[in-house]
């Protein structure tokens, strides 16, 4: 696809596309419209060599629906609208080290995030993405029919709250997360949603924040949820993105999962993330 000199081509994996010939620091409305449509189609867009400023990073997000300030992440100095995703050389645990989609615990989930690599390790630190369109489309007709009548309950309490998993596990990320009293969000969403940009159906559960199906117990829900998680993360639905300084991944939470690989111990990794406001999602 070629428009206004920018070019968009599929990643070659199960999800995502690369965008070339564009300077995100001078993004205009026409280009933003092209990117929004592509985001709906591909789920995640990848950019290289985008050494944009803090102001330009925020201005980019404003083209797509405004900035959603994350309640739990540490932020960059003097700019609370930009979350800092950081791991120091002596730290063992990383943030996002498991398949998830951001903000599904909110009544109106964030559209997506624009993650900019500021400092990358010499090797490792990739991010995996998974395609929730193809995850849904490749299910049997019988299972599709079952899922389309279901809702699921999502929560932030067990991830960011006072008795969160990372605290009980003794993980060393306490200085990078906070505001635990704000972890009161529970939300109910359809298990299969109609994507607001593309109009396609997508699977909308994830192992980090989904607790159970509405009206089912957690024990009853677990076998089917575990099957869906294993199915959605199969290699044919995924792509592994390798970062470099100035790289950007712009993903849509309604169409993808992501997973930050924690394989760079002894090295620093610093990313700046701006989250974009979303809209209500439904069937």
Please, what's the b/e burial string for 66-93 (b: 16 or more CB within 10 A of its CB; e: otherwise)? ebbebbbbbbbeeeebbbbbbbeeebee
CB 216 within 8 A of CB 109: no
**45 exposed, middle or buried (CB, 10 Å; 0-12, 13-18, 19+)?**
buried
Q: Which residues are catalytic?
A: 100, 102, 258, 273
Neighbouring residues of 273: CB distance < 8 A, sequence distance ≥ 6: 70, 73, 82, 83, 84, 85, 113, 114, 115, 116
Burial of 231 (0-12, 13-18, 19+ CB in 10 A): middle
Count the neighbouring beta carbons within 10 Å of the beta carbon of residue 2. Answer: 11
């Amino acid at each position: 696809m070629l428009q206004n000199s920018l070019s968009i081509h599929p990643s070659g994996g199960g999800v995502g596309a690369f965008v070339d010939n564009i300077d995100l620091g001078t993004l205009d409305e026409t280009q933003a419209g092209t990117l929004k449509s592509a985001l709906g189609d591909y789920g995640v867009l990848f950019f290289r060599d985008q050494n944009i400023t803090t102001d330009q990073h925020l201005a980019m997000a404003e083209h797509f629906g405004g900035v959603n300030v994350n309640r739990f992440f540490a932020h960059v100095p003097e700019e609370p609208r930009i979350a800092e995703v950081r791991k120091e050389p002596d730290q063992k645990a990383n943030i996002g080290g498991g398949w998830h989609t951001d903000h599904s615990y909110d009544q109106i989930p964030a559209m997506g995030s624009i993650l900019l690599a500021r400092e990358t390790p010499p090797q490792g630190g990739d991010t995996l993405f998974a395609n929730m369109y193809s995850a849904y489309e490749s299910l049997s007709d019988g299972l599709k029919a079952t899922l389309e009548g279901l809702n699921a309950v999502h929560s932030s309490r067990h991830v960011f709250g006072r008795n969160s998993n990372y605290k009980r596990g003794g993980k060393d990320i306490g200085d990078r997360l906070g505001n635990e009293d704000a972890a009161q969000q529970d939300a109910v969403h359809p298990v299969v949603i109609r994507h607001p940009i593309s109009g396609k159906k997508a699977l909308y559960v994830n192992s980090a924040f989904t607790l159970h199906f509405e009206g089912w117990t957690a024990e009853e829900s677990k076998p089917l949820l575990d099957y869906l998680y294993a199915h959605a993360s199969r290699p044919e639905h995924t792509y592994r993105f390798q970062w470099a300084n100035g790289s950007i991944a712009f993903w849509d939470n309604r169409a993808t999962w992501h997973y930050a690989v924690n394989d760079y111990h002894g090295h620093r990794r610093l990313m700046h993330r701006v989250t974009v406001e979303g809209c209500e999602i439904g069937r």
